[in-house]
Copies of this chain bind each other. A is one copy, B any other.
Amino acid sequence: MELMEVIKGRRSIRKYRPDPVPDEVLQKVFEGVRWAPSWANTQCWEVIVVKDAKVKSELATTLNKMNPALSSMTGAPVVLALCGKKGVSGLHKSRTFTVEGDWLLFDTGIAIQNLCLTAYSLGLGTVIIGSFDHKKAQEILGVPQNVEVVAMTPLGYPAAEGMTPKRKEISEFVFQEKYRG
């Protein structure tokens, strides 16, 4: 698929068909993640692939009951947990160099966008979930303290189309030479 078609067409998907995602398709999704740029090429991201129904159900309990993506955590055949290694991105000789210190959130943001775009180009749906009990998810997945579970997304073939939320006009977020021009 053409890049702009992918960028404009990708939606958050909250209803999935139970059909499994073939391993070779999963590998293509991870190939997209693999080529994300990162701070000094540190590639701080890691992905946990959850297919086990029991683990998916446990992970679903880390979401707020009002989260519109809740049912997709168990309805989709796969849940991906995107992790970021701490103390790797944004540092040089143990000193942080960015506005926010550790840069893992920025680099995992880049990585998940490659993931979502690649998935969409393969006919797969995603919905980025950042709001959950991270400590509990960390325990469920056996993630060590030096790694953060940043976000999760169900992954599978869509059972329903996603909405297209309205976007700001370019003139609302792009300024010339100075802030607000």
Contacts and interface: CB of A to CB of B under 8 A. Distances in A.
B37 A116 contact: yes
Contacts of A144: 179
A105 interface: yes
Contact of A106 (B35, B121, B151): B151
B131 A106 contact: no
By secondary structure, the A interface counts as mixed
Contacts of A151: 106
A147 B178 CA distance: 13
Contacts of A12: 37
A113 B36 contact: yes
A7 to B, nearest CB: 5
Contact of A105 (B92, B106, B176): B106
Contacts of A105: 100, 103, 105-106, 109
Contacts of A52: 177
A82 to B, nearest CB: 10
A110 B151 CA distance: 13
Interface in A1-37: 1-4, 6-8, 10, 12, 27, 30-37
Interface string A159-171: 0000001111010
A48 B1 contact: no
Contact of A4 (B30, B33, B118): B118
Interface string A85-99: 000001010000111
6 contacts: A37-B113, A46-B173, A49-B176, A99-B148, A100-B105, A142-B180
